[in-house]
Amino acid sequence: MVLSLPELLLLGGGERKLTACVLLLLLELFLEGAEVEASSADVENHLELGKRFLANNQLSDALTHYHAAVEGDPSNYLTLFKRGTIYLALAKTRFAIQDFSQVLELKPDFTAARIQRGSVYMKSGEFAEAAQDFEYVLQLEPYNEVVIESQSRLGPAHEQWEIVQELLDHGDYRNAIPLLTQLLEIAPWSIRFRQARSDAYILTDDLLSAISDLRSVNRLSQDSTDGYYQLAKLLYRVGHATNALKEIRECLRLDPEHKDCFPFYKRLRKVEKGLTSAEQSRDEKQYEQCITSALTALKHENDEPMIIFEAKRLLCTCYTRDEQYTKALSHCKDAIVIQRDAQVYCDRGDAYIGAEMYDDAIHDFQEALNIDENLQRAKEGLDRAKKQQKRAERRDYYAILGVKRDASKQEIHKAYRKAAQKWHPDNFQGDEKKVAEKKFIDIAAAKEVLTDPEKRRQFDNGQDPLDPEGQQGGFQHGGQPFAHFHHGSPFQFKFHFN
């Protein structure tokens, strides 16, 4: 006899207690059935949504729904296989292998999963594991052409890796690099091969190639603090302080107290701030601030050549545009010693023009064109230097001493003494000395012309009496511009040409 729920509720005593237990059991079973149906419907919904996102190539969104589907039914090997395939498309190889392995535990004869896992192993450089999967498939499908072709590449690749290891052990990095490149065509996801090639690039001073490989290593490793640190150090070495700072912050995001990243971050932040501020000030034509910021960067870094180059390059530019030509020439020279850069040569060319050293300016613009023959700035600078050189061939001796055209001989002597004291070459060093020598020669020439009545008359009439192509044939005293300093000059200069 089957009782209805009202009849069950009307029973009394022991019968009611027993029936109550049965009722609770039935309710529990009913609710469980409802959960299964709901769960199954939910899984199907996630699978359908995942399929739609997958069709639109929205892999991350598809992965989210396949996650939910797997959680709802972890024994469904097809769902696991689909999620593994998406992991593969997202280059998350470790998770893809985990899913394919779980599929094969549920269904060992599912060859599609085994082929996929073998392919991932091969592309990850795990040749022995790949060989096992391919051999298993060939036992079931001996004529599978895709697997046969993949299997045939494993043996030679393994042998080539052994050769590479021998070359690396003997320090033959240049010959190891092309062999590693060939291996990475077979195993593009191999952390081991990419790390080896990155190390080889570093040891052959090809830092940009090393950075490219290290980025791949870090991506494949999925958030490695050591990877971020190594990448930041390399970027800093090539002078990319801002990019280095980004990488070191990623390291600190994973480990705020990292023993290498944290102290490097403290120094790097100051240097990067100085360089970034200098560049911004240069672009805003705030040249004094640019100079201050670049000098601050140098204060915190005096060892790394390319960072020093970046600071010196900025100082070269900003001192030139601020018309502090002697200081500009010094910093331009320091930058060029580190790296021959076309733009720095152009900056120094502009500084030489400002210092009226046209031969040197022409040389630098030509050097810039030797580096980049299409550099328009260098072409325009070269043309400008030649024109100004031609215009400057007739010197204005009054302007050189800063006196009026009717200045007395006494005023000329006074202006000469002041200018000679200021520009005496013994007061300067390096490229600044070259500027002083040029100024000093012009000052001496101006004094000689303007204190000699006949030469001054010739100059006032439009002739340069010191022009080597003119009638006078150059300076007095056999053409030596400084000979008169020892004949009545108020100064006894000791002057040495380099």
pLDDT at 452 over 70: yes
pLDDT at 92 over 90: no
Q: Whole-number mean pLDDT of the chain?
A: 84
- Inter-residue contact 231 to 214 (CB < 8 Å): yes
pLDDT tens-digit profile of 152-200? 999 999 999 999 999 999 999 999 999 999 999 999 999 999 999 999 9
- Inter-residue contact 470 to 476 (CB < 8 Å): no
Given CATH 1.25.40.10, say whether it is the number of domain 40-153: yes
397-460 folds as Helix Hairpins (1.10.287)
**Which whole number is the average pLDDT over 456-483?**
58
- What pLDDT sits at residue 6? 38
Q: Is the whole model's pTM more than 0.85, yes or no? A: no
- What pLDDT sits at residue 442? 85
The CA angle 120-122-126, to the nearest 5 degrees, is 100
Closest alpha carbon to 447 in 429, 471, 425, 465: 465
Q: Indicate if 163-340 has the same CATH topology as 40-153.
A: yes
Write the DSSP assignment of 324-385 as a string of letters: -HHHHHHHHHHHHHH---HHHHHHHHHHHHHTT-HHHHHHHHHHHHHH-TT-HHHHHHHHHH
The CA angle 39-40-44, to the nearest 5 degrees, is 115
The domain locations on the chain are 40-153, 163-340, 341-394, 397-460
- What pLDDT sits at residue 469? 58
Q: Which amino acid is at 237?
A: R
- What pLDDT sits at residue 220? 86
pLDDT tens-digit profile of 42-71? 888 888 887 888 888 888 888 888 888 888
- What pLDDT sits at residue 196? 96
CB neighbours of 429 closer than 8 A, spacing ≥ 6?
Answer: none
Tokens of 16: 């009611």
341-394 folds as 1.25.40
Distance CA 29, CA 18 (A): 17
Task: Among 91-105, 275-289, 309-323, 473-487, name the one with the lowest average pLDDT.
Answer: 473-487
- What pLDDT sits at residue 2? 42
Band (pLDDT 50/70/90 cuts) for residue 16 is: very low
**Which whole number is the average pLDDT over 420-430?**
85
Write the DSSP assignment of 469-483 as a string of letters: TSSS-SSHHHH-TTG
- Inter-residue contact 316 to 328 (CB < 8 Å): yes
- Give how far the C-alpha of residue 120 lies from the chain's centroid of Cα atoms, to the nearest Å: 31
Task: Among 34-48, 189-203, 208-222, name the one with the lowest average pLDDT.
Answer: 34-48
Band (pLDDT 50/70/90 cuts) for residue 468 is: low
- What pLDDT sits at residue 32? 40
Task: Among 10-14, 202-206, 436-440, name the one with the lowest average pLDDT.
Answer: 10-14
Name the architecture of domain 163-340: Alpha Horseshoe (1.25)
pLDDT at 373 over 90: yes
